[in-house]
Amino acid sequence: MPLKRPTRKDVALRAGVAPSTVSLVLQDKGDELRIPHGTQERVREAARSLGYYRNWHIEAVMKGRSGVVGVYLRSDQWASPEGFWPTMLWHLQGSIAAADLRILLHNALPDCSTEDAFARQAGGIVDGVLILNSGADPIVARIIEANLPAVEIGDPYSPIPFVGTDGPMGVRLALDHLFERGFRRPAFLGHISNYEENMSAREETFLAHGRERFGYELSGRTALMSDDQDVFTRIMALDPTPDSVICASDEFAYSILRGCVKAGLRVPEDFGIVGFDALGGFGRMRELTSVATPLRPMIDLAVEKLLAVIDGRPYEHGTLLPVTLKIGDTT
């Protein structure tokens, strides 16, 4: 015979109070309604001894809010056990927990259709959705069309409310640093990705600020790669050969570092390397000079903004956070 779950009436009977008092105490409204502390403690002790807990699902239905935030991840964002995306997800889980919310992950498979990805969020129990660097992902158009509360994390060019970081600022800081360290032939290594505007802005800043800082045109000194395979060969094939590189990710930077070691190039004496995001702990060879992006503050603000969107409170459409440069031993 299955065990009977304790009810609010069972708690009330053991504590010697009305069932409504049990609800008020367990909803932390006892002090507000001036319920004696002794009564509150009896209710909580009765609930503990019986194993009775608030029914979050019923409360969610009554409030019209589930307290669950959906997170949509493309296949390239969850397929690796290390690097930028796992770090972002780690920060995201901490931020969601701090906001007393729960998280529902949708890890899309490579062949997942836009409609299926959208249905798993809009058709579920989530109050709203967080998306990481969606770029040209068509799910954004569906979110806008359906008026589903959503906030973008990372892409400062998103049509939905977003919190991003100032990537071009990071490129300027890196160029200034390389110049001050005596490097004169910098290159830029970017990603081929579906958020092209973000990467284009960094590349354009490299060309414009580089011209101003180094006194000559840096055109032809940029390269875009889809992954970190053979990035060292690609960069060293530029003419004239660079003496330093600004990478769009720490992953790329460590790949360049490994290439330098194999080629016998001394870092930073012969070649300077700057990464992006300052993930920390990702590399195991050296302490990388890297543009430090405030990942946790960015995610915290995104969660706050999503709650404002859900509740219908005023919010700023776009929030752009400044970056800094973390100096390591690769420049």
3 lies in some domain: no
Distance CA 121, CA 25 (A): 34
Tokens representing 213 are 């800082």
Residues 179 and 274 occupy one common structural domain: yes
Residues 211 and 257 occupy one common structural domain: yes
In sequence order, what are the beta bridge partners of 291? 276, 325
258 lies in some domain: yes
pLDDT of residue 259: 93
Residues 98 and 191 occupy one common structural domain: no
- Examine residue 6 and say whether the peptide bond preceding it is cis (omega within 30 degrees of 0): no
Distance CA 252, CA 229 (A): 9
Residues 79 and 45 occupy one common structural domain: no
CB 214 within 8 A of CB 242: no
- Count of the separate structural domains present in the chain: 3
Residues 24 and 88 occupy one common structural domain: no
59 lies in some domain: no
Rounded to an integer, the average pLDDT of 243-263 is 93
329 lies in some domain: no
98 lies in some domain: yes
Residues 277 and 191 occupy one common structural domain: yes
- Is the pLDDT reported for residue 196 higher than 90? no
CB 246 within 8 A of CB 171: yes
Say which residue, 283 or 89, is predicted with more confidence. Answer: 89
Most confident of 70-74, 149-153, 219-223: 149-153
323 lies in some domain: no
What is the CATH number for 20? 1.10.260
Encode 6-18: b = buried (16+ Cβ within 10 Å), e = exposed: bebebbbebbebe
Q: State which residues form the domain around 252.
A: 167-292
Residues 260 and 310 occupy one common structural domain: no
Residues 159 and 305 occupy one common structural domain: yes
Question: What digits encode the pLDDT tens for the residues 169-179?
Answer: 999 999 999 99
% of the chain exceeding 90 in pLDDT:
47
In sequence order, what are the beta bridge partners of 244? 186, 272
- Is the pLDDT reported for residue 64 higher than 50? yes
